Amino acid sequence: MSTPITVLLPVYNGAADLEQTVRSVLAQTHRDFEFLIINDGSKDRSGEILDRLDDPRIKVIHQKNMGLAATLNRGIELAQGQYIARQDQDDLSHPVRLAEQFAYMEAHPDCNLLGTAADIWVENTPTERFHEHPLDHATLSFDLIFNNPFVHSSVMLRKTTVQAIGGYSTDLARQPPEDYELWSRMARNGRVANLQQRLLIYREMPQSMSRSGPNPFLDKLVTICAENLAFANHMPTPDNACIDAAAFTHSAFHRISGNPDLKKMQALILAAGQRIASEYGNPDVVARAQNRADILKYQLVIRQTKTEWLKPIARKVRALLQRLSLR
């Protein structure tokens, strides 16, 4: 029997918080959903906890470790729901989360990706911090060029769109960040949005799936950002200016070319903002682009100042190494 929503929860060594997370989903006011939980080869008690769950909406799958992106793709393939509601093992959904997101998606058939705001806890301790991002498609499309304006565990996805564009990338050269990479493609294939309500508790956990193990995050973040800037300017592939702008944005100074062209980087950013503002009728995006271009100028000045300050030291180091090599 089909159901409108599949809540998709990948689990890897999540025993500490798993029961509380599951309870937050089962307590939803919107009760018509499938709860698909995939144990991705956990080595702790996660499997035992999952096997004790007793609710007809829950479907548990145990598998050998495949990694987050591949596990999510498997879940999307198996999902019976028209909408996929992501849930992370550390986070908690507010009771009305599914009801609010389902109502929005039904009322906006052109929306393929819908996130929410989120409160931030440090493990089990509430804080006064929160994640709040833009709400409308135009602003989100511009912000997505440079960063991820969605809380992964809060999103609801339209299954047909996710499958049509190939799901999460499992290419190790492109993920992590698998979420930012997918959202960037989804925004090119339909509308995206955020709800203003804080419908998730996002917990900062030192051992969560997104934080554990090697994290070659920065280089891939720059690559995706550069691709997004190129796409927004109708370029088939990123040029040096796209890569430099992305590298400055994320302080990945090792990716900056030998002679970054500030005017060209700023022109690309401003052109992207103008196009998005015109296409979606939101002139505020132009000001957002100008602000981003101004920030880039300051980043370049700071970088050059640091470089000039380091030059005398670098010369002394090179001279010392040369003397040592001659001994």
CB 21 within 8 A of CB 91: yes
Residue 210: pLDDT over 60? no
Of 162, 168, 234, nearest in space to 192 by CA = 162
Q: What digits encode the pLDDT tens for the residues 9-37?
A: 999 999 989 999 999 999 999 999 999 99
Q: In terms of DSSP bridges, do strands 83-86 and 156-158 run parallel, antiparallel, or are they unpaired?
A: antiparallel
CB 194 within 8 A of CB 149: yes
pLDDT-derived band at 320 (thresholds 50, 70, 90) equals low
Q: What digits encode the pLDDT tens for the residues 151-181?
A: 999 999 999 999 999 999 999 888 888 999 9
Q: What digits encode the pLDDT tens for the residues 118-153?
A: 999 998 888 989 999 999 999 999 999 999 999 999
- Structural domains in the chain, CATH included, are 5-204 (3.90.550.10), 217-314 (no CATH)
Q: What digits encode the pLDDT tens for the residues 235-276?
A: 999 999 999 999 988 888 888 888 899 999 999 999 999 999
Cα–Cα distance measured from residue 219 to residue 62, given in angstroms and rounded to the nearest whole number: 32
Of 179, 136, 103, nearest in space to 279 by CA = 136
What pLDDT is recorded for position 327?
Answer: 42
